[in-house]
A and B are shown apart, each in its own frame.
Chain A
């Protein structure tokens, strides 16, 4: 048994490297500008996807750590149906944060592991509180404000559409999300029911453009008539579901038919067989049954016999269809012909042949029932099997995600201590485009500063922000000074803060980001000024603002930078006591990687979105309707790209382009998506758990064994689940 030991000191780097590779792949299809990934199966099947888990599993990575990550992602996405791409991004950026931290602390391995543990502990203990306090008030609820218990369909559509935009190409997402909404509303939003029976509720048809997708009333049974008789269309039809062949073969395996004597047995057996068929037909006729759904193949003799009585037979109806049929009709399937009774007979309102693409199906309708809406089925069209498969998969996961959003039942296992997840409103949703991340980022930073030396903090920042301070002062003065002060404070602070971050970023990760960040850095100064200008007040301030901006920026930059460093240095020493500040700071920084990636094509929009969230956050203290404001943010990133490219050169006409953007934003504001807060929360928890288990591995042993399967031994101190 030969083995190779990897040096311990490489551990964190190699983990980060592995995760970065995965991140690089995921990034192609992340965000509003992300594209499709085409993958071919080993069977030669060509499929399309934008689903993180699918992409990762299709890679078939060999590296044990990478496989572990893929497994974590898969597990998370099977629970919530959402967030697999964000998972990888967040994991990578957390690892980077940890690396930055430990590099300073000069005690790598153990430090990284302890940090990960502290992060997880923080996530389990305090994160839900933080989210409840900081993020939830900015969100809106999925349930209708007027009639509690009912779902607000408009919000539901926004939620679905935002989700589907991350999964299928944007041109198709609208159609599919609209259909899914309609489907849900037809079923009176029994999301769980649809989720459960989704295999029977959809039909994928390839060869048509996706615009041909539609909803059909009733259920589609994925089988064709075995008897050629046309069915009469009018009036209710009585139907029967069977799961057994109604004419068993004459001799079942193992039995012996003895022929002899004078009674000519074979003849009598044949006659009995014929009589038996006749009696089944008589029963059917007596019950008035004219449609038979069979899960098994019936004998030809049986088909011919019942066909003569005008009964149509559907053979080989799949399990899912039959289950749904019996649920909708309320009639149980028959397994023994001898006990067919009235209780097995279902009533359908119509039953018509249906040609979908190359297949012939049967469409049945059910009488109206009060407790559930009108049954409808989804027909998903696409050019190829790959495309329909993608849409179907996306809808299925969307339903799954809704399920998670609606009920907090699916808690991750690690939250055993949390009775407090219930505090968080389950149906809370928030605008997409990084709003959640920005809000959480700020709250976490605030916490950090509250925890540490708030005196020095205030000290460093007061000189730099005199300008903005006086401006905002007029608004906020009436309220208690200290609170609003810190809020507005953090606002401008973070802008500078991001800069600090990007600087350090370029330092550490020369491989990935050097180019883009130097660019964004130069942009930031000129553009952020325009941004503040559009968001706040008048033209006259522009000049003075620019003047003060640049010097103040460079001035405060360095001190604040070093300040945090010394702080964090001090923190790592005391980390064993679950030190919050460093941990929440790291998490806060890591969270920003998500919106940064969303707006990766245009850093200006990143700043705009950031500033906008902040202004919403600040306004939240005195304004009453925060969700609407944040909705105008319209984080549908694609619109923002257009706004950027459309306005062309920004430098000259500050106010003009600003106005234009606002119009673009508000026009798309109505269709802006939302995402589920509880999904996000679960995502962060899952990432933290994955991070912990990743970092608790210290050695990978490659074992070569000849007679057993070759497997990789992972020595882990503790496997979390």
Chain B
């Protein structure tokens, strides 16, 4: 009999955002996320109260999964960020920082939540339509003819994971590998079947600890982990044998010869009757015989192969691999065109055989692995990425980063555009929104049914939140600047004290032409770096630039100019368009949702 226990009443909290404890927790979470953001982000070590594994990371996925809060509001935000990450793999910290920042600004501005929600929603629509415009100033097309922008995209993802501990060269190497692997998985030429549907190949990652990062490599085909004892001398002889497509048979059913698959009934063996296991072994050997006559050269099984059968096959020069594991079956099927056989009682149908071009033994790090080469070149490609790193923690982080990068690269196939990185998209968008919102404040306020001052207050909060994300990239005491013409993000190294309200000028000559009536203080712009955050605007190429520190309220800023793309300079940082667009929407919607929550009921049973 089940026990019926009395249920305790729920714990209720009224207007959670007005409670200081909740706000404190949210601020803490915001600080954690902000400090992790960007290539210079700080690492976090997470360990639980019962000891065990210590996690060192700065990526949002690992961090948010490891840090769980009891606060329902934070749980909600965390869950939404993780959901976003599971779809797009990128911009998790961005989402979090923007979301917390928006909530914070609304609270500070004193707007009623329902008013703020409406304004935020309207501004989000302005943002999304701006980003979807053809001539949007913070969008660049991804050119598939050269892999330069793809590599930049991949490097932006990888370099924003400082827990990988990579040097510049290593970052470049890994990004190139990621793009190489990605390109291998894109089928080229006409694919059979419907033309509108492309089936991407897949990348299998093999991670090896204790090697140099630069030893990482990408191989077309599959690397199969084979225990030493399975690679008999005859096998290595075979692997050296000349080229030619080899016939391959793949089994998913266990060929171990035991009787486990006969259901739940019982067997009754009369004395004198042949042992059922012998009978099954006979069946298996028959199968082996067929394989040999059909000239199968590679015989693979997901599970265990009976030693007698193995021996028989080897004696006939067949390469035998057992215990592949379920994870490798699909890639093998995809690469070789074999059909996995799930029944050994009947003969192997001829169409079930697949092909490999060849196989050889590769020594990867400390491991010897069997390399299966894909049968034909434009095949639905499967490739293997071998990642090496010095220790386990960094390796895991690197593996995750490469998977992220692959996902981000795949997203470009659907939408071949990318956004400027380095905070430039945010500052540019903030300037655009600020300008558009200020000029159209009257109409927008009327259509939303809020007063104009409320609208401007909400607009200000929204723009500041966007700029707060750009500012979060700065960790080492640099000052975040924005130029007044293109509204790109620049960061000035530590030591230069720049006060709010100061305008820096690029060229000394221009300071003479400035009218004296300017209320703003002007400084020398020499300390400003050569390019902006993303690398699109070069200081030397555009004289007369003026800068101001981020998050200084400027009376009315002109609409930011779009940088002419005639001679595109080398872009340094690119972000995924699809991921960032979704992240923006998720962040604003989540902020709206949290602002809308009036009451929290916690079931404490």
Contact = CB atoms under 8 A, between A and B. Distances in A.
Contacts of B346: 271, 274, 277-278
Given A251-B265, A273-B345, A228 B330 contact: yes
B126 interface: no
Contact of B83 (A61, A169, A206): A206
Residues of B in contact with A, size category: 35 or more
A230 B194 CA distance: 10
Given A233-B197, A277-B343, A385-B79, 11 more contacts: A60-B603, A61-B9, A206-B83, A207-B87, A209-B582, A273-B345, A303-B342, A305-B343, A646-B446, A646-B449, A709-B4
B182 to A, nearest CB: 19
B592 A25 contact: no
Interface of B: 4, 6-10, 12, 14, 16, 72-73, 75-76, 79-80, 83-84, 86-87, 113-115, 117-118, 121, 193-194, 197, 199, 252-253, 261-270, 272-274, 276, 279-280, 282-283, 330, 333-334, 339-343, 345-346, 349, 351-352, 445-446, 448-451, 454, 582, 585-586, 589-590, 592-593, 596-605
A61 B267 CA distance: 58
24 contacts: A28-B598, A33-B114, A35-B114, A37-B600, A38-B72, A42-B603, A208-B582, A228-B334, A249-B261, A250-B265, A256-B268, A257-B265, A258-B268, A260-B270, A264-B274, A300-B342, A301-B253, A304-B252, A305-B343, A383-B593, A386-B79, A387-B80, A642-B449, A645-B451
Contacts of A646: 445-446, 449-451
A256 B267 contact: yes
Chain A interface helix/strand/loop/mixed: mixed
B83 A384 contact: yes
Nearest to A61: B9
Given A61-B9, A253-B263, A383-B590, A304 B601 contact: no
Contacts of A303: 342
A46 B80 CA distance: 11
A479 interface: no
Contacts of A208: 87, 582, 586
Interface string A225-249: 0001010111000000000000001
A642 B450 contact: yes
Contacts, number: 242
A337 interface: no
Contacts of B454: 645
A641 interface: yes
A122 B266 CA distance: 72
B80 to A, nearest CB: 4
B449 A641 contact: yes
A171 B118 contact: yes
A305 to B, nearest CB: 7
Nearest to B87: A207
Contacts of B84: 207, 383
Interface residues of A, number: 82
A266 B593 contact: no
B449 A638 contact: yes
A304 B599 contact: no
Contacts of B276: 259, 266
Interface of A: 25, 28-29, 33-42, 46, 48, 55, 58-62, 169, 171, 206-211, 228, 230, 232-234, 249-261, 264, 266-267, 270-271, 273-274, 277-278, 299-301, 303-305, 307-308, 357-358, 383-387, 638-639, 641-643, 645-646, 648, 664, 709-710
A207 B270 contact: no
A307 B451 CA distance: 65
A526 B87 CA distance: 56
A316 B172 CA distance: 46
- The 6 lowest CB-CB distance pairs between A and B, nearest first, are A642-B449, A251-B265, A260-B270, A249-B263, A35-B598, A207-B83
Given A383-B80, A383-B586, A386-B76, A266 B280 contact: yes
A67 to B, nearest CB: 11
Given A40-B602, A210-B589, A232-B193, A267 B279 contact: yes
A712 B11 CA distance: 22
Given A171-B121, A383-B593, A252 B75 contact: no
Contact of B450 (A58, A307, A645, A709): A645
Contacts of B117: 169, 171
A270 B345 contact: yes
A256 B582 contact: no
